[in-house]
Amino acid sequence: ARKRMAQTLALEIKRQVETGVVVFDKGGTPRPCGYGDFLILVRRRDATFEEIIRALKAAGAPVAGADRLKLSQHIVFDDLKALARFALFPGDDLTVAEVLRGPFCDVDEDSLFELAGREKRDGLWRELKSRADERPEWGRALDLLRVARGARDLDPFGFFSRLLNRVDATGRSGRARILTRLGSEAEEAIDETLNQVLAAEGRGGTDLETCLALLEAADVEVKRELEGPRGEVRVMTVHGAKGLEAPVVILPDTTMKAKAQGPSLMPVPLADGAEAWLMCPGSSKEDCPASADARAAREARVGDESLRLLYVALTRARDRVIVMGRGSKRAPEAGDWWSVIEETFNRLGDQVRELDGGVRRYGADPDSLPAAVATAETRPEAPAWAQTNPPRDAAARFASPSSMQEQKRIPAPSPLACGEGPGAGLGRFRRGDLIHRLLERLPDLPSSDRPDAAQRMLARERDLTEDQRADMIAAAFGVLDDARFAPVFGPGSRAEVALTGTAPDLPGGVSISGRIDRLVVTPERVLVVDFKSNRPAPDHVEGADPAYILQMAIYAAVLRRLYPDRAVEAALVWTDGPKLMAVPQRLMDAALENAR
């Protein structure tokens, strides 16, 4: 009955739009109705709610989807996670099949069975690579999956952005493919997924595998804004529709009476006007007179609230209200919306007319005008420039000196990430951030005050053990107390210096914005220093991560323009050791040349 009711509703909406049934704009001017003129109101987001959305989509009626988006249950969320899982684990046949059948590919069910059905085949990924030239959709799928594999070392947001913005051989981006397959409601699911990826990065999910694990655990519900004109049928709860209106309101969920729900602890009035609470039996059959009165009072409150909701639902309509219900062998329950409205119709007597199909109507029959919708929609062919990826924006790539490399670098192994030593279980980035904080603030204090200040600073990190605190304090003081580093913290030195600008050695039009860990400016020279907490530290500067060399080269190039009369030098300070490594000009020149 639920499915038949939903199908009848969808077909009736489509019939009214296609025959141009009249509605009136706010100024009273008649016009043919469109799909955006229909508002369907339900009391709960239950199976009826889902069935109505499904029936509208099956009938080809544009529908805005649910008014609340449960991200973990949305198919777009699953499709994007499947791409990430494939990039990490290409040998999982189920994941490969999920991607192939998703909106990013054109592989239908028959095509997938043909690819996977060969006896004694290798894994599905290997099968696709060896047979991609047999069918064009397989070739396009292979191109997509190779891009996903190649992007797995990017930051998670970069990974998903690349796949969504990638334009394939058909001239469509990944985002356009999703919207074509799933409709405009998927737009918000895409955007919210990207928001959750950024949030996961902020919680430590800076690599794709960690980010994917955080996404799997996410439980996010988003309230969608369905107020403006969208050209789509809106389906929402009566509570969510407060303050809205539409020319035509449809109430499909009217034959079920609202039931009182909640704990058995119920309020009861006292003789002096105060209120007490009574623990009632679980079943009304076991009620005493006091609990029966309390239960009846709760039922009355629920009934009153149900009538208030009915009033809200009826007053959302500007022109017409359509009341529907699911048929049942049982008679309607007294007090449900159907019974209330039917009783009202019965009292109206001859003003209500009987139409075909058991329909009863109160009010004038709506007129018709030529339908405002096109019978067929032609898709324009995309121009040639839309079928190629735009050139990389050099300014965007070089915006942050600390992330100049195009590929994410693999961090040096850290015993703090695993094992049983001091700081076991503490990530390298957390350890590095805390050591940086110590090196930023302690140099401004007298030497005698530094140990107590360091203890106080790390005492605020409640999740650290004493061994972890001692390990990081020792690393910081290993640098501060070493005479070789005295110039770094001496006169003319400053911590956390913001630097923004450009330089002739950088590509044209490129500006950078960064923060220098330590800057020393004297009348003779300028020294830029960056602290690194990787463990183990390299033995020679040539063994340092190329991204670190490029970072220092960028800083030095901009500072050379600010201080043309002084020598500009760069150095890396490794807290493991500790070690001070000057960065030769030849290495910085080579890094800049390679980055252009």
CATH (domain of 343): 3.40.50
Count Cβ neighbours within 10 Å for each residue of 3-20 and write b for 16 or more, e otherwise.
eebbbebbebbbebbeeb
Same domain flag for 459 and 553: yes
Same domain, 405 and 550: yes
Q: Is 65 a member of any domain? A: no
Q: Which two tokens stand for residue 456?
A: 């106080």
The residue whose two tokens read 């005698």 is 448
Residue 565 makes CB contacts below 8 A (sequence gap 6+) with none
Q: How much is the pLDDT for 409?
A: 40
Domain of residue 351 covers 1-60+224-390
Angle at 182 between CA 249 and CA 15, to 5 degrees: 40
Residues 348 and 491 in one domain: no
According to the model, what pLDDT value does residue 54 have?
A: 84
Are 341 and 477 in a shared domain? no
55, 152: one domain: no
Same domain for 258 and 370?
A: yes
Name the one residue in this structure whose structure tokens are 């009915």: 310
SS3 395: helix
List the beta strands (DSSP E) in 360-441: 360-362
Q: Three-state SS for 107?
A: coil
Q: What is the pLDDT of residue 509?
A: 65
User: What 8-state DSSP symbol labels residue 118?
Assistant: S
Which of 351, 374, 390 is where one domain is finished? 390
Tell me the DSSP string of 33-83: --GGGEEEEESSSSHHHHHHHHHHHHTT--B---SEEEGGG-HHHHHHHHH
Which residue from 305, 264, 303 is spatially nearest to 284, judged by alpha carbons?
264
Number of structural domains the chain divides into: 3
For residue 376, being part of any structural domain is answered with yes
Whether residue 565 is contained in a domain is answered as yes
Instruction: Determine, yes or no, domain membership for 243.
Output: yes
Q: Which residues of the chain have pLDDT under 70?
A: 65-69, 221-230, 262, 327-333, 371-382, 386-429, 507-509, 596
Same domain, residue pair 217 and 235:
no
Same domain, yes or no: 543 and 504:
yes
Query: What is the distance between the alpha carbons of residues 251 and 325, in angstroms, rounded to a whole number?
Result: 8
User: How much is the pLDDT for 98?
Assistant: 92
State residue 277's pLDDT score.
83
Is residue 206 included in any domain, yes or no? Answer: yes
Both 495 and 412 in one domain: the answer is yes
**In whole angstroms, what is the distance from residue 194 CA to residue 81 CA?**
11
Closest CA to 64 of 178, 164, 188: 188
Strand partners of residue 499? 514
Q: How far apart are CA 502 and CA 516, in angstroms?
A: 15
Sheet holding 579-582, edge to edge: 493-501, 512-521, 525-532, 567-574, 579-582
We report the CATH number of the domain holding residue 75 as 1.10.486
Burial (CB < 10 A; 0-12, 13-18, 19+), residue 26, is exposed
Q: Which of 390, 405, 436 is the last residue of a domain?
A: 390
Beta strands in 87-173 (DSSP E): none
Q: Are residues 216 and 145 in the same domain?
A: yes
Task: Report yes or no: 530 and 516 within 8 Å, Cβ to Cβ.
Answer: yes
Which of 390, 420, 445 terminates a domain? The answer is 390
Question: Is residue 277 situated within a structural domain?
Answer: yes
Q: How far is CA 204 from the centre of its chain?
A: 16
User: Length of the chain in residues, anyone?
Assistant: 596
Q: What's the CATH number where 519 sits? A: 3.90.320.10
* Strand-pair partners of 352: 362
Residues 243, 308: one domain?
Answer: yes
Same domain? For 135 and 210 the reply is yes
